[in-house]
Structure 1
Amino acid sequence: MVTHDSRIVILGGGAWGLSTALYLSEAGYSDITILERAEAIPSPYSAAYDINKIVRAEYEDDFYSKLALEAIEQWKTPLFGPYYHQTGYVVATTGRAPAKAVTHLNKALASIERDPAFAPGIRRLNTPADFREYTWQYSGPLTGFTGYFNRLAGYAHSSDAMRGLWEHISKRGVKSVLGEEAGKAVQINYAAGNSGRATSVTTADGKTHPADLVISALGAHSAALIPQLGQTSVARCWSVAHVQLTEEECNLLRGIPTTNIRDLGFFFEPDPKTKLFKLCPLGIGYTNPGADGVSLPPGDRLPPPQDFIPRADEDKLRTLLRETFPWMAERPFVDKKLCWFSDTADSDYCIDFVPGSGGSVVALAGDSGHGFKMMPIFGKWVVELLQRGQQSEPRWQWRTPSAGGQQWGDAVSWRVGRGGELTELIEASRSKL
């Protein structure tokens, strides 16, 4: 039984770990410690360690649409509002898009067109002139573009939001232990006998941190400490790249809607501090399985490639720029990287007690590339789990491995393209050197 003075240790200081600490603190839990292997927060080990992330609420599934709408309202509060920008959201496919991308767009559009919360701010876009009403800066041909504009969406400065939330909860008394030695959890320790209860967490410096409750919010790294998660929640990555703009170019693109071309990729207005224009290609993503078949980020398995994304992803982003901002299409990509996240076959989260732990270990995993936007409300669901003593939402319950194994990336409705394994990509990259 977890009480308000129980010793709670949260593994991971990313978006979900910080949100959980916030809601636990607000609910009256007084002894909360975050263990984070990075030297500072925001943590580069977090999937949210980024300039910005899309905040939108259109889903094929109304369950997540309603939750995302709730999250957007919290993004507009004083705590989260400084990091949220409701620029609007352009979603489209090109004339060359596969049927899968078009089908997903139409389903998402249908879901929000009939919802009174969205309907007044939705506009279908069928011609280049329609698109330029919302982004007059588009100077490319927009070949075959069709889609829609959604006023009730935008983006958040993700790293800044994590830093701001961490500073806030620290003032509330949440403790943090940071660093590759002091803050890196290497083992969850359990009581002897049959209780299965966690008693402490050991960090890389050999120190033991007593715990009545351990909450794992390690994202793509989760299976390193909870191996059972590796069968149902896979570490997967997508590419990220940036173009360095001048101040004049940055000002030119100020205020453009977040734009998502379903068969190519997405981009945001430039970051005013760094003047970086971020782009991400859309696809299935890449895994990094070891000999045991469990995928983990390269920091746990092999040296990560530096300043690297696959050639196919670069080509996709060049096409995206030629269609929208051709003056930028041949610019060098800078700060290229692979962003790792925790992925499930159905894109549902895991927010549940680990079986056999006697209610002493909670696993938070499976953000599946759409979890950051829930940061302002996510921790509330963890508190509800503790108060109920079980997960009543079937979508978020602990799951068992499926017969189909872990190759589910291409089955997800909103992912288009080809996937692969990281080792194959690295070898292909080295062979071109």
Structure 2
Amino acid sequence: MGVFSSQPEQPQVMTTSPVKPKVIIVGAGIFGLSTAYYLAEDGYNITIFDQHAYDSGDGYKLNPGSTAASVDENKIFRASYGDELHYQRLAYEAREIWKKWSAELGDGKELFVESGMLRVQHSTQLDALECQTLANMKAEGLRDTQYVLTNEEDVRRATKNGWAHKLLKFAIPDGKDVTFEAVLDSTAGYVYPSKACAYLADKLRKKGAEFIEGPDKGVFVSFQVEGSGPSRRITGIVTKDGNEHFADLVIMACGSATPMLVPEVSRVLEATAGSVITIHLPPREEAPQLWDKYSQEQWPVIIGHDPDPEGRTVGSRSIYSFPRTEDGLIKIGYRVTKYTNYVKLPEFSRPISVPLRPGLDDTSIPLKSIEGIKTFVSTFLPDLAALPVAVTRLCFYTDSVDNSFLIDYLPDYNDSLFICTGGSGHGAKFTPILGKHVRDVVQKKPKTDLTYRWRWRPELPLGNGLEEGPDGPRTLDKQKRASPEDLKRAGW
């Protein structure tokens, strides 16, 4: 020391930075990648596992065998949450980063499209949920971003601000020229989840995160457990190829597969499937008017809610559609009923709902979904009714008992096992910001109003359909499924 210095040698003060834990994250979807990104940003040593070979040339490309919710062409971005102001604020926090990411990509490679969203009511009146949404928008100074169809002042503002062409009127069937009430949200639109996952994965690789993916080396089989009783800890995982992987913390972000991989959470989480169809427009040169009409510049996301038997509108009981993609595809989703798939697994004392096995199980959607979509199309998209259905898909979500996420340490493992899932069909919009709040929970920062709602909460009564169990009416084995012939018939 001091060999090259003419100054008197000074005493050396040794400083060391605390070594960040080694973290294994099982699941390379939205929850896993967002969490990994923020932990890696903070210096954690991250290894991510997934059964799908997303690190191959195909990346996060949607294919007919995939039931993962994170792998999808598009997902709705909205901040309309009724009285759940915490999710409204989180959505707008995410929105700013979505816009930043799109700007970073440049060359028109958007991750977030501000097409607007038309929230169509089930009657001529605004329901209680919509009134509460508008009240919260007003409280946050955002009421001027919302346009009510029958509000003359809102229509004038929509015209002035260039949104009037998306403030659409739709006749109520057999309603004698009466139209549905609707609200256009100019801050809403849609995001590209598959592209966002690929974007985050690239960022993570540049930060030094390791990806282990594929049908053998990336498949979680079991935990490695050290000790027993109060001293029990998870020290890593074993994958299908027999390899052992060690870590200080294991985060399970496995979406709809989480309940079957972590039995303790199967009481409060459930795999459920929404139904999705895709309609392919005729070639642009054959139907230029349709390509123009359903472009993101001319057409909004449309979401229509079905009331429950008591006449209330339930946020998850909906049918929705998107503007066309660059390839002329229009996606329509049906979540009036989210189906369950109960099976009896050896490790469980009772049947649980699990996602379908890609490429092995029947992924045809129930006829009930087709009939609901048919009604939606005839009402809101009638010029698409004669076009054939190009693709159908069952998209598996992870429902929680109260629709809030489950993001917390699992008790009895001495802070070595962490759960990060429970998207309930509304997690994708939070991709850019979710991991920031997950990191706060991992680091045991004081609970906020938001993260308190994500806590481990087995004390809550079963709800959101989880109380039905395998004898409920939504199980896939009770549904008549649509055949290819059903989808080829004129008007379906």
TM class, shorter-chain normalised?
0.7 to 0.9
Cα 1:120–1:390 change in 2 (3 A) is closer
Cα 1:108–1:389 change in 2 (3 A) is closer
Q: Which residue of 2 aligns with 1:267?
A: 321
2:190 alignment partner, one of 155, 160, 173: 155
Q: Does 1:218 align with 2:261?
A: no
1:298 is paired with a residue whose SS is: coil
Give, in whole Å, the separation in 1 of the partners of 2:430 and 2:203. Answer: 18
Aligned pairs for 1:366-381 (under 5 A) are 366-381=422-437
Give, in whole Å, the separation in 1 of the partners of 2:475 and 2:362. Answer: 13
Aligned identity (percent) is 27
Q: Which residue of 1 aligns with 2:226?
A: 191
Cα 1:165–1:34 change in 2 (3 A) is same
Residue 110 of structure 1, CA deviation: 3.0
Q: Which residue of 2 aligns with 1:126?
A: 150
Q: Which residue of 1 aligns with 2:213?
A: 178
Give, in whole Å, the separation in 1 of the partners of 2:220 and 2:446. Answer: 25
Residue 403 of structure 1, CA deviation: 4.7
Q: Which residue of 1 aligns with 2:112?
A: 84
2:222 is paired with a residue whose SS is: strand
- Structure 1 stretches lacking a partner, 5+ long: 411-417
Q: Which amino acid aligns with 2:134?
A: L
Q: TM-score, normalised by structure 1?
A: 0.87
Q: Does 1:287 align with 2:340?
A: yes
What whole-Å deviation, never above 9, does each CA across 1:180-236 have from its counterpart, x for those lacking one? 101011111110334221111111111111111100000100022211111001111
Give, in whole Å, the separation in 1 of the partners of 2:481 and 2:99. Answer: 45
Give, in whole Å, the separation in 2 of the partners of 1:370 and 1:240. Answer: 15
Cα 1:145–1:408 change in 2 (3 A) is farther
- Structure 2 stretches lacking a partner, 5+ long: 1-17, 105-109, 174-178, 307-317, 345-349, 487-492
8 Å contact kept, 1:76–1:84: yes
Q: Does 1:57 align with 2:92?
A: no
Q: Does 1:25 align with 2:61?
A: no
Residue 66 of structure 1, CA deviation: 0.9
Q: TM-score, normalised by structure 2?
A: 0.77
Q: Which residue of 1 aligns with 2:292?
A: 251
Residue 296 of structure 1, CA deviation: 1.1
Q: Does 1:106 align with 2:163?
A: no
Residue 78 of structure 1, CA deviation: 3.0
Cα 1:369–1:346 change in 2 (3 A) is same
Q: CA RMSD in A?
A: 3.0
Residue 325 of structure 1, CA deviation: 2.2
Between 139-148 and 353-362, report the one with greater CA deviation: 139-148
Q: Which amino acid aligns with 1:72?
A: R
Q: Which amino acid aligns with 1:397?
A: R
Q: Which amino acid aligns with 2:271?
A: A
Cα 1:4–1:276 change in 2 (3 A) is farther
Larger radius of gyration: 2
Q: Which residue of 2 aligns with 1:305?
A: 362
Give, in whole Å, the separation in 1 of the partners of 2:236 and 2:183. Answer: 51
Q: Does 1:36 align with 2:55?
A: no
Q: Which amino acid aligns with 2:240?
A: A
What whole-Å deviation, never above 9, does each CA across 1:299-333 have from its counterpart, x for those lacking one? 29x94223x21112112212222122211113221
1:229 alignment partner, one of 239, 259, 265: 265
Q: How many residues align?
A: 414
Give, in whole Å, the separation in 1 of the partners of 2:165 and 2:278. Answer: 20
Give, in whole Å, the separation in 2 of the partners of 1:314 and 1:402. Answer: 34
What whole-Å deviation, never above 9, does each CA across 1:35-63 have from its counterpart, x for those lacking one? 01001142745312111011111112111
Cα 1:428–1:388 change in 2 (3 A) is closer
1:10 alignment partner, one of 16, 25, 36: 25
What whole-Å deviation, never above 9, does each CA across 1:232-260 have from its counterpart, x for those lacking one? 01111110111001333333311221111
Cα 1:139–1:67 change in 2 (3 A) is closer
Q: Which residue of 1 aligns with 2:331?
A: 278
Q: Which amino acid aligns with 1:92?
A: V
Residue 135 of structure 1, CA deviation: 4.4
Residue 348 of structure 1, CA deviation: 0.9
Give, in whole Å, the separation in 2 of the partners of 1:420 and 1:374. Answer: 28
8 Å contact kept, 2:260–2:352: no
8 Å contact kept, 1:16–1:378: yes
Give, in whole Å, the separation in 1 of the partners of 2:424 and 2:132. Answer: 19
Q: Does 1:74 align with 2:111?
A: no
Between 34-43 and 10-19, report the one with greater CA deviation: 34-43
1:277 is paired with a residue whose SS is: strand
Q: Which amino acid aligns with 2:300?
A: P
Cα 1:87–1:79 change in 2 (3 A) is closer
Q: Does 1:424 align with 2:474?
A: no
Between 230-239 and 194-203, report the one with greater CA deviation: 194-203
Residue 137 of structure 1, CA deviation: 10
Cα 1:326–1:62 change in 2 (3 A) is same
Q: Which amino acid aligns with 2:324?
A: P
